């Protein structure tokens, strides 16, 4: 009996001892030894070296005590390191940073234009190869350097890196000009059959200095702001040029990737765009077809519209007036799509994915033209875009205020 008891205790002791090696001390990470990165900036210096900037979160400045958040301390700290390669530059951080950098919470990577034009292949590889930097980070491209974007503080936001992700998410939801582009989706597009991708542009707009000090929160307006504008097009692994915001919107419409957007339209063709409507439920059917030597894109766009603002004459109870508005809206949508297509054709980068539709429809022909699609066939492609916008809501009034005022005058 006693032997059994001893045996049992010995087993228990052995089990308890197992906890020691099984816990594994090699990979422990102490929170107070980590420097948590919220955003990364990629630049190339004059000498052609990589310059990586980090937006470091300062935990004590963002933790609130008793509901009161300290505003005297800057919530983030930005610093840069340089190196011959991306990770080489990152590893230099140990020379000036007392904590080891932790990229698990990195949300945003901002690429300076020069770095983007040089090529982002190395950056993409770093994201794929290393488990702690995730491919879900969002990519932005900026004219000029990336570092000032990281230094800029956004009004109402503590950590501007996180704020940028909300900014672009909201833009996709409501603005409809850009959509978030992650490293993952860029990889998919650049490695896909078309080797073309795009990333939204970001810039600091406004007069004077960037907002780099928390003191700026003391005034009611900030002298400069971060703003989404333009779209950077990539082919293979480097940037080839910019297209404008409304062109970016047109390309997104072609891909049916807009959840909602507001557009302005005129009363009659060529007039000032004094009315606006919200476009929702946009769906595009792309049908590529051969035409002679080249290709023809037939796109059918269907969308719903809600009238937001209307200043033209006529009564909206009249079906003809509604049809007129729908036609005007359709023209606006079509012109944006055409502008977007032309811009991307000019840069020879099929970012709208028309080549993929060709590949699906004509898999055998595609093999012969794939290599020259971006350089030859896509730029020469013709497009027939049919748009049908259906007005589903006109709001709570029927005529415009101008019309009503005119009517009341006539009645007197």
Partner 1 sequence: MKAKEASVSAGQIAVFLVLFTIGSTPMFELGSEAGQDSWIAISIAAAAGFCLLLVYRALYNRAPDTNLVGLYKLHFGKLLGGLLGAALAVVFALESMRNVRDFGELISATLLPQTPMWCTMLVLTGIVYYTARQGVEAFFRVNQVLIPVLAVSYISLLGLFLASGLLDFNRLRPVLENGFRPVLHAAFPDILSFPFGQVMVLMMFWTYARRSPSTGAMSYGAYIGVSLFLIAVNMVLMMVLGPELYRLAELPTLEAVEQIRLFNFLERLDILVTLLLYIGLYVKATGLFFGSVIALRTAWGVPYRAGALVMAPLIFTASFLEPIMSQHLWTGMTVYLKFSPYYQIALPLLMLVMGIGWVKKKAQRQAGQGGAKAGAGGQAKGREAGGQSGSGQSGAGNAAAGGAEASGSGQPGNGKAGADGSAEKAGSQDGQQDESPGSDGKNGERNKARGAPADSDAKQPSSGSESPEAGST
Sign (positive or negative) of CA dihedral 313, 318, 322, 323: negative
Query: Least distance (Å) from partner 1 to the CB of residue 392?
Result: 24
Report the C-alpha dihedral over residues 215, 220, 226, 227, rounded to 10 degrees.
Answer: 180
- Considering only 83, 122, 192, 260, the residue that binds partner 1 (CB under 8 A) is 192
- Considering only 24, 48, 67, 292, the residue that binds partner 1 (CB under 8 A) is 24
Nearest-CA neighbor of 223 among 237, 208, 243?
208
User: Does 12 contact partner 1 by CB under 8 A?
Assistant: no
- Considering only 51, 114, 147, 359, the residue that binds partner 1 (CB under 8 A) is 359
Tell me how far apart the terminal alpha carbons of the chain are, to the nearest angstrom. Answer: 114
Site pattern 67..106 for partner 1 (x: CB under 8 A): -------------------------------------x--
Instruction: Quickly list H helices, 205-318.
Output: 245-254
Q: Which is nearer to partner 1, 290 or 360 (CB)?
A: 360
Strands (E), 130-190: 138-142
**Residue 333 three-state SS:** helix
Give CA–CA dist 42/83, Å, rounded: 11
Span of 87-95, 219-227, 328-336, 358-366 interacting with partner 1 by CB under 8 A: 358-366
Q: Which is nearer to partner 1, 119 or 192 (CB)?
A: 192
Count the neighbouring beta carbons within 10 Å of the beta carbon of residue 46: 7
User: Does 27 contact partner 1 by CB under 8 A?
Assistant: yes
Q: How many CA atoms lie within 13 A of 166 on its CB side?
A: 10
Phi, psi of 212 (to 5 degrees): -115, -5
**Residue 37 three-state SS:** strand
User: Does 388 contact partner 1 by CB under 8 A?
Assistant: no
User: Does 368 contact partner 1 by CB under 8 A?
Assistant: no
Query: Least distance (Å) from partner 1 to the CB of residue 118?
Result: 22
- Considering only 12, 13, 17, 191, the residue that binds partner 1 (CB under 8 A) is 191
User: Does 256 contact partner 1 by CB under 8 A?
Assistant: no
* Residues of this chain that bind partner 1 (CB under 8 A): 7, 21-22, 24, 26-27, 104, 128, 131, 134-136, 182, 184, 187-188, 191-192, 356, 359-360, 363
């Amino acid at each position: 009996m006693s032997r059994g008891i001893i045996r049992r205790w010995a087993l228990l002791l052995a089990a308890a001892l197992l906890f020691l090696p099984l816990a594994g001390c090699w990979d422990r990470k102490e929170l107070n030894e980590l420097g948590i990165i919220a955003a990364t900036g990629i630049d190339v210096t004059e000498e052609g070296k990589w310059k990586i900037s980090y937006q470091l979160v300062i935990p004590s400045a963002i933790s609130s005590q008793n509901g009161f958040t300290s505003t005297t301390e800057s919530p983030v700290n930005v610093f840069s390191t340089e190196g011959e390669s991306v990770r080489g530059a990152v590893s230099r951080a140990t020379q000036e940073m007392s904590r080891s950098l932790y990229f698990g919470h990195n949300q945003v990577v901002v690429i300076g234009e020069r770095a983007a034009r040089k090529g982002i292949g190395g950056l993409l590889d770093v994201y794929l190869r290393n488990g702690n930097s995730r491919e879900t980070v969002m990519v932005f491209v900026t004219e000029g350097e990336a570092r000032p974007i990281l230094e800029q503080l956004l009004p109402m936001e503590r950590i501007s890196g996180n704020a940028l992700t909300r900014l672009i998410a909201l833009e996709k939801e409501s603005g409809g000009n850009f959509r978030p582009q992650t490293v993952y989706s860029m990889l998919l597009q650049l490695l896909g059959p078309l080797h073309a991708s795009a990333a939204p542009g970001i810039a600091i707009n406004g007069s004077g200095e960037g907002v780099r000090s928390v003191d700026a929160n003391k005034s009611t307006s900030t002298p400069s702001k971060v703003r989404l504008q333009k779209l950077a097009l990539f082919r293979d692994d480097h940037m080839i040029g910019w297209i404008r915001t409304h062109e970016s919107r047109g390309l997104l419409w072609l891909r049916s990737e807009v959840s909602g957007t507001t557009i302005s339209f005129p009363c009659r063709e060529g007039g000032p765009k004094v009315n606006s409507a919200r476009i929702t439920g946009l769906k595009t059917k792309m049908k590529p077809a051969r035409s002679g030597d080249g290709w023809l894109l037939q796109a059918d766009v269907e969308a719903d519209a809600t009238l937001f603002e209307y200043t033209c004459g006529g009564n909206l109870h009249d079906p003809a007036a509604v049809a007129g508005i729908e036609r005007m809206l359709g023209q606006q949508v079509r012109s944006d799509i055409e502008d977007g297509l032309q811009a991307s054709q000019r840069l020879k980068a099929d970012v709208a994915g028309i080549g993929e539709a060709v590949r699906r429809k004509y898999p055998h022909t595609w093999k012969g033209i794939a290599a020259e699609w971006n350089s030859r066939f896509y730029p020469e492609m013709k497009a027939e875009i049919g748009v049908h916008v259906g007005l589903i809501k006109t709001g709570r009034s029927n005529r415009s205020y101008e019309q009503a005022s005119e009517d009341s005058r006539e009645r007197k």
